[in-house]
Amino acid sequence: MNLIQKNKFLLPVFIYLILLTPSFSQFSKETVDIVELPNAGFYPKGSFTMKMNFLNVNQMRFSFYLFPLNNTLLCINTSYIHFTNNKVLLFSPSFNFKYRILDEKINLPAIAFGLSTHSLSTYQYIFEKFSPSIFLVGSKSFMNFIGISNIHFGMNYSFQTSSSKEDGIIFFGISQNFFKSVWIGLEYYKKFIRKGNSIDNLLNVSAEWVVAPNAKIGFVFKDLLNQRNKSLIDKYLKIEFGLN
């Protein structure tokens, strides 16, 4: 029995929220992440979104995004919630802050910087280990006949001083919107500071469908380069809805 079957109430609650919450058409115009790494996108002032990630048969994660001011994002992540032998194991939550310091111009990308309590660069320990970090990211969009294309680039540096799995990384991503209803995202990161025997680079891909003006559902496929030498690609389902 998988996690969704164990939590059958989640699907009707999600449908209820889709039907009764106000329209949130921003989902068709912009995203705030490439796949898992941040971009320079923001939703309108006063918006609120919640994301649910179902990672495997006994893990899930909640993320809450609040946009209290223009070009400002506050995010709380619950980390992985493990359901094991009828017990719930909850690791420490993480907090992210992002602010856009430069709006996009015709010949210039949007630029945003941010802070995170749990870094951005790890794989299995993300949101589970305190590691303060800063990041800087740029995004440039281009209109085309099928929708909106975006190019993203950035860097993240962790202040973790001990030898661990926390590193400085540079990352690059692209995303494409198809007819205001489908988003495809791809992100790749490469370490520029190596600490320990952690993963040197990572390639992730996501596909999201805007099922309603205020709701998205999608899949994420991680480590397509198979840096961890696993027989199966890690993948998870994510559901997101928004209010404004």
By three-state DSSP, how is residue 95 classified?
strand
> Regarding beta strands 110-116 and 94-102, do their DSSP bridges make them parallel or antiparallel, or are they unpaired?
antiparallel
The SS3 assignment for 81 reads strand
Q: Residue 176 is encoded by which pair of tokens?
A: 């494409």
C-alpha dist (Å) from residue 58 to 64, 125, 217, 237? 21, 16, 19, 13
170 CB burial (10 A radius; 0-12, 13-18, 19+): middle
Distance CA 152, CA 175 (A): 8
Instruction: Name the token pair of 177.
Output: 């919107």
CATH of range 3-243; options 3.30.565.10, 3.30.470.20, 2.40.160.40, 2.40.50.140 = 2.40.160.40
CB atoms within 10 A of CB 57: 12
CB 58 within 8 A of CB 84: yes
Structure tokens at 212: 């309603």
The widest CA-to-CA distance across the chain, in whole angstroms, is 55
- The residues, any chain, with a CB within 8 Å of residue 105's CB and separated by 6 or more, are none
Task: Please report the DSSP string for 177-195 in residue order.
Answer: EETTTEEEEEEEEEESS--
Residue 42: both structure tokens together? 């923001």
Per-residue pLDDT of the chain (244 residues; tens, 9 = 90+): 444 444 555 555 555 555 554 555 666 678 899 998 899 999 888 889 988 888 766 677 788 999 999 999 999 887 666 666 665 666 567 788 999 999 999 889 999 999 988 666 444 444 445 667 899 999 999 988 888 899 999 998 877 655 455 567 889 999 998 888 889 999 998 877 655 555 567 889 999 988 887 888 899 988 887 666 665 667 888 888 887 7
The neighbouring-strand residues paired with 33 are 38
pLDDT at 125: 43
pTM of the model: 0.79
Angstrom distance (rounded) from CA 2 to CA 100: 39
Residue 164 vs residues 83, 118, 154, 159: alpha-carbon distances, Å:
26, 13, 22, 11
Cα distances (angstroms) measured from residue 148 to each of 7, 106, 145, 186, 210: 36, 15, 8, 14, 14
Hey, where are the domains in the chain?
3-243
